[in-house]
């Protein structure tokens, strides 16, 4: 059985057939999907969808760095209240972090960092792990986590091979996506299975149209091929990793 540790099922690309997408994943051996909001206004919908499909979906909510510069204090407080109210249901807080690819000014980045630090402390207070978006800001993220001594994290869609060892050293998991690259292959080959998660980031990161959680099998198969082991061995260890991280 396979596990998709990061997907966005509350997305306009699934507006008409999300239940069919979930059923298709299950029929292809996906036993768990960790459903992330990733956009203002999506978090309550994530909770509703996960409650409706509680056997296979687990919710992950938080304020994305993409929204850090437009979220109002009232919206932030409401989201934090929603997290606290659903603390026993949530798998993690996420995806949170920094994005230096789309945001370039010092003011924008400082606002992202301030929010990220608040969300880290919220996670600490509730004893929840965090799922991190770190595009073009990976080293900064790791510096922050090291400074505040937070170790219960996963780096979503992470393929920065020169920083991968540091993620592991700081106690984090590397979540590998469905999009192929030399960097992804390197991490698959050179890092222990115990340090990895598998994700689709659906509906993104697929070369042939819309991505779906059913495609997470590709990551498992690629890891098995890179390491010269069976897919079943990968399945067993990734399941243990998921249990360890999301608890």
Mean pLDDT of the region 143-165: 98
**Quick one: pLDDT band at residue 127, thresholds 50, 70, 90?**
very high
200-203 long-range Cβ contacts below 8 angstroms, 24+ apart:
200/4, 200/6, 200/7, 201/6, 201/7, 201/8, 201/156, 201/157, 201/177, 202/4, 202/7, 202/8, 202/9, 202/11, 202/21, 203/8, 203/11, 203/13, 203/14
Domain, as residue range, for 98 = 2-246
Taking the C-alpha atoms of residue 76 and residue 113, their distance in angstroms, rounded to an integer, is: 14
Q: What is the pLDDT of residues 67-113, one digit of tens each?
A: 999 999 999 999 999 999 999 999 999 999 999 999 999 999 999 99
CB neighbours of 38 closer than 8 A, spacing ≥ 6?
8, 64, 66, 95
Q: Which two tokens stand for residue 56?
A: 């296979």
Q: What is the pLDDT of residues 16-67, one digit of tens each?
A: 999 999 999 999 999 999 999 988 999 999 999 999 999 999 999 999 999 9
Contact 137, 160 (CB under 8 A): no
Dihedral over Cα of 146, 112, 90, 55: its sign:
negative
Total number of domains in the chain = 1
User: What confidence score (pLDDT) does residue 143 get?
Assistant: 98
Q: Which two tokens stand for residue 40?
A: 């203002």
Taking the C-alpha atoms of residue 179 and residue 189, their distance in angstroms, rounded to an integer, is: 16
Nearest residue to 5 via CA among 231, 230, 220 = 220
Q: Which two tokens stand for residue 102?
A: 């789309």
Q: Which two tokens stand for residue 142?
A: 């790791």
- Domain containing 33 — which CATH number? 3.20.20.140
User: What confidence score (pLDDT) does residue 223 get?
Assistant: 98
User: What confidence score (pLDDT) does residue 38 get?
Assistant: 80
CB neighbours of 234 closer than 8 A, spacing ≥ 6?
193, 220, 223, 224, 227
pTM for the model: 0.97
The secondary element (H helix, E strand) that includes residue 132 is strand 130-133
């Amino acid at each position: 059985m396979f596990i998709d540790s990061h997907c966005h099922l509350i997305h306009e690309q699934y507006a008409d057939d999300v239940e069919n997408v979930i059923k298709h994943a299950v029929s292809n051996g996906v036993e768990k999907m960790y459903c992330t909001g990733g956009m203002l206004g999506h978090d309550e919908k994530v909770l509703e969808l996960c409650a409706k499909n509680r056997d296979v979906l687990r919710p992950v909510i938080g304020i994305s760095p993409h929204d850090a510069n437009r979220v109002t204090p009232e919206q932030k407080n409401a989201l934090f209240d929603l997290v606290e109210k659903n603390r026993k249901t949530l798998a993690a807080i996420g995806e949170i972090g920094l994005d230096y690819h789309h945001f370039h000014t010092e003011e924008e980045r400082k606002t992202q960092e301030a929010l990220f630090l608040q969300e880290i402390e919220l996670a600490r207070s509730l004893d929840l792990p965090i799922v991190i978006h770190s595009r073009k800001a990976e080293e900064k993220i790791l510096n922050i986590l090291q400074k505040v001594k937070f170790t219960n994290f996963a780096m979503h869609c992470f393929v920065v091979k020169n920083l991968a060892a540091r993620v592991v050293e700081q106690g984090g998991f590397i979540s590998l996506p469905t999009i192929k690259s030399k960097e992804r292959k390197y991490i698959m080959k050179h890092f222990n299975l115990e340090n990895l998660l598998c994700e689709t980031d659906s509906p993104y990161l697929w070369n042939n149209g819309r991505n779906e959680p059913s495609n997470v099998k590709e990551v498992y198969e690629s890891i098995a091929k890179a390491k010269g082991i069976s897919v079943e061995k990968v399945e067993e260890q990734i399941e243990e990793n998921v249990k360890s991280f999301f608890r």
